[in-house]
């Protein structure tokens, strides 16, 4: 991940921000990027610092204030903390855990473009994230080779224009909403000029991590596109959904977006039935439909989050006793070379 976030000073800011309320860009720029500061702010024992330094050297810490405020103080078992604190276990190298677990390098026909599945393509709209989740399957992704300039985007756009079977463009990253709104508005304008494209999908964690990201500038270009729009959020635990997140989701829905959620099943974060059921209920209260529950992608550095498939299946079987069908996420694994995600 790139640490230097460029703040687009000329970008239109939302009227919601007062002089003492930092913009989303400022919040992103001021995110905690030092494991010692993270431990000190959360009242953690210095015993955790050595491991945190080891993990940080492998994958940078990045935790913005808005997310930090939802983490319980002095509780090393807090499920939100477990997602973002580096650990010494990240240096272990168990068999089968690799840098590119989904073999995305084999599916990049143009810079910034990944085409694995029929009918849809994925665009790396930003190399940056608002938060560095320790289980991220792209923690080793070569973003420096996949961050096109406007001129370089033309190759990817020409690829989309030439293939009339592609009906959906997915903005991903990093986090696509870490890009400035002028760049995103330009990219979406290019996409909607392609007649056979029907849908715009945005995979993002930013409205959860920094809810102020859903500002007037974002809502402007999102509401105005002719493309059907789907925003896929990434929330693993109900504690991530505070009132600011609920309000941000309401604004996205008002702009015409369908909201879905995908979670990752993570050891010591959400690997029990009560937690998963509460998450689905809380998502629906916020206007978000549960979509996928992914088992962990075997990325190097994240093995300590693994939940075996047999346990995952049992959890989902039990979950059916708690939830109506429309609140049941689909348990899936992404297997390289398959034409779609594989239900478990």
Residue 97 has phi, psi (to 5 degrees) of -95, 120
pTM of the shown model: 0.91
HSE, side-chain direction, 13 A CA sphere, residue 215: 19
Domains along the sequence of the chain with CATH = 24-91 (no CATH), 104-343 (3.20.20.70)
CB 84 within 8 Å of CB 132? yes
* Length reported for the chain: 344
Q: What is the pLDDT of residues 92-133, one digit of tens each?
A: 999 999 888 777 676 788 888 999 899 999 999 998 999 999
Reported as a pLDDT band with limits 50, 70 and 90, residue 143 is: low
- Count Cβ atoms within 10 A of the Cβ of residue 117 and give its class: 0-12 exposed, 13-18 middle, 19 or more buried: middle
Q: 248 vs 9, which has greater pLDDT?
A: 248
Residue 141: name the closest of 107, 181, 117, 95 by CA: 107
Reported as a pLDDT band with limits 50, 70 and 90, residue 8 is: very low
Residue 7: name the closest of 27, 32, 21, 37 by CA: 27
For residues 182-195, give the mean pLDDT.
97
Residue 2 pLDDT > 70: no
Sign of CA dihedral 304, 306, 307, 309: negative
Angle between helices 150-162 and 181-192 (to 10 degrees): 30
**pLDDT on residue 14:** 42
CB 72 within 8 Å of CB 81? yes
Reported as a pLDDT band with limits 50, 70 and 90, residue 141 is: low
Residue 4 pLDDT > 80: no
Q: What is the pLDDT of residues 241-262, one digit of tens each?
A: 999 999 999 999 999 999 999 9
Reported as a pLDDT band with limits 50, 70 and 90, residue 137 is: confident
- Could you tell me what percent of the chain has a pLDDT over 90? 78
For 23-49, give one letter per residue: b (16+ CB within 10 A) or e: bbbebbeebbeebeebbeebebeeebb
**pLDDT on residue 51:** 94
């Amino acid at each position: 991940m790139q640490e230097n976030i460029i703040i687009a000073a000329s970008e239109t800011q939302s009227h919601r921000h007062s002089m003492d309320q930092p913009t989303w860009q400022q919040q992103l720029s001021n995110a905690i990027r030092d494991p010692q500061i993270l431990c000190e702010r959360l009242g953690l024992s210095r015993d955790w610092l050595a491991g945190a330094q080891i993990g940080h050297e492998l994958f940078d810490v990045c935790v913005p204030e808005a997310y930090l405020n939802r983490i319980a103080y002095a509780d090393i078992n807090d499920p939100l903390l477990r997602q973002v604190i580096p650990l010494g276990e990240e240096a272990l190298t168990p068999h089968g855990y690799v840098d590119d677990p989904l073999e995305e390098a084999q599916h990049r026909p143009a810079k910034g473009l990944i085409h694995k599945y029929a009918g849809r393509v994925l665009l790396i709209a930003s190399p940056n994230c608002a938060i560095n989740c320790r289980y991220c399957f792209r923690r080793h992704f070569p973003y420096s080779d996949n961050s096109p300039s406007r001129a370089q985007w033309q190759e990817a756009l020409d690829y989309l224009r030439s293939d009339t079977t592609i009906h959906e463009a997915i903005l991903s990253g990093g986090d696509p909403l870490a890009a400035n709104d002028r760049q995103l508005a330009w990219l979406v304008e290019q996409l909607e000029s392609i007649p056979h494209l029907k849908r715009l999908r945005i995979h993002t964690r930013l409205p959860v991590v920094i809810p102020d990201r859903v500002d007037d500038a974002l809502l402007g270009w999102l509401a105005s596109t002719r493309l059907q729009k789907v925003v896929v959020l990434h929330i693993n635990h109900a504690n991530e959904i505070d009132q600011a997140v609920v309000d941000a989701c309401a604004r996205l829905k008002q702009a015409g977006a369908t909201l879905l959620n995908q979670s990752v099943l993570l050891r010591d974060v959400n690997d029990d039935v009560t937690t998963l059921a509460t998450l689905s209920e809380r998502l629906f209260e916020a206007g978000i439909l549960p979509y996928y529950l992914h088992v962990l992608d075997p990325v190097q550095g994240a093995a300590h989050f693994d939940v075996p498939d047999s346990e995952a299946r049992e959890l989902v079987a039990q979950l059916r006793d708690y939830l109506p069908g429309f609140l049941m996420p689909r348990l899936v694994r992404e297997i390289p070379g398959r034409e779609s995600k594989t239900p478990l």
